[in-house]
Amino acid sequence: MSTQRYPSFAGLKAFNAVASTGSVARAGEALGISASSISHQLKAFEKELGVRLFENRQGKLHLTVDGEQYFLSIKGPMAQILEATEDVRSAPGRRRVSLTLTPSFAANWLMPRMRDLNNQHPDLELDLISTTRVVDLFRENIDVAIRRGVVERAGCIAEPLVDETVAPVLSPDLWQTLNGAALADAFQTARALVNTTLLTEWDSWSAARGISPPPMKQRFNLETYELTVKAARDGLGIALGRKPLVDDLIATGELVAPFDASGAENVGYFLVYRDGDLSSDVKRLLAWLRGQRG
């Protein structure tokens, strides 16, 4: 009997997500992992199969002929697997609660606290839906959302969870190179790292503090918040970091925040959930999240 050579499921998921969305960043959001992880999984998957599945044309990914044929063959079965899995997860008697939040908040705030949740509620099964898109809790049957900024949803309750302070961050080596320069002077040589999901953030942040924004020629655009922070850690420039999301990186010395961040209102993250009767499991999750406000 011949050995059954199943493909790597992580690679298969990454391929299916990128082929479906047309973007490594959007695939990462859909699967709740970083864009760099998606890229690594794709490369490993192509090596495993021994064929090129994508090609880069003028900065955009396109399926090769082999990739197109493979996608046509697997997208139906992949959809069936997902549907069957959701059916099992929603079976009566399951203690599952769905929580949606952004990939950056999931990776930098929630995941370091997950051990505590598991210790306090070992029987609580949590479905994490990591995405930046606007989610309809009613239509998509999601229990709880964590969203940044003012939240108004019909039929929903929103309550503050975590305050956020936005501050410029950079690597200690780059800060040493700048030799204590003021922020405006720093941009004469250092680049401003721009998260393109918030393309005008540097302009808004600077305007709120009455200072000049970074010159356009000194801006370096990156696709996601995670890539922006990584570029700052690698010494490629100055990013707008979000506290508490960068608190651990500052505590370990991977990043420093030496510039004055005062001068404007801070933004916050909110708990959003449906108004009405809540299951005991949803109430337990909400109570635990409130306990993390610190």
Give CA–CA dist 192/241, Å, rounded: 12
Beta strands in the chain (DSSP E): 54-57, 60-63, 96-101, 125-130, 144-148, 156-169, 192-195, 219-222, 239-243, 267-274
Rounded to an integer, what distance in angstroms lies between the CA atom of residue 51 and that of residue 67? 8
pTM exceeds 0.75: no
* CA–CA separation, 261 and 237 (whole Å): 17
Where helices occur in 135-200 by DSSP H, the ranges are 172-178, 183-186
Confidence of residue 276 (pLDDT cuts 50, 70, 90): confident
CA distance 138 to 100: 13
> Nearest-CA neighbor of 50 among 34, 66, 35?
66
Q: 29 or 253, which is more confident?
A: 253
Report whether 154 contacts 274 (CB < 8 A). Answer: no
* pLDDT(171) > 90: yes
Q: Which of 38, 59, 89, 101 is nearest to 270 (CA)?
A: 101
Reply yes or no: is the peptide bond before residue 103 cis, omega within 30 of 0.
Answer: no
Sign of CA dihedral 193, 199, 204, 210: positive
Amino acid at 62: H
Give the mean model confidence (pLDDT) for residues 216-238.
Answer: 93
Distance CA 152, CA 97 (A): 22
The pLDDT of residue 282: 92
Q: What is the pLDDT of residues 133-166, one digit of tens each?
A: 778 888 888 899 999 876 667 788 999 999 888 9
**pLDDT over threshold 90, residue 32:** no
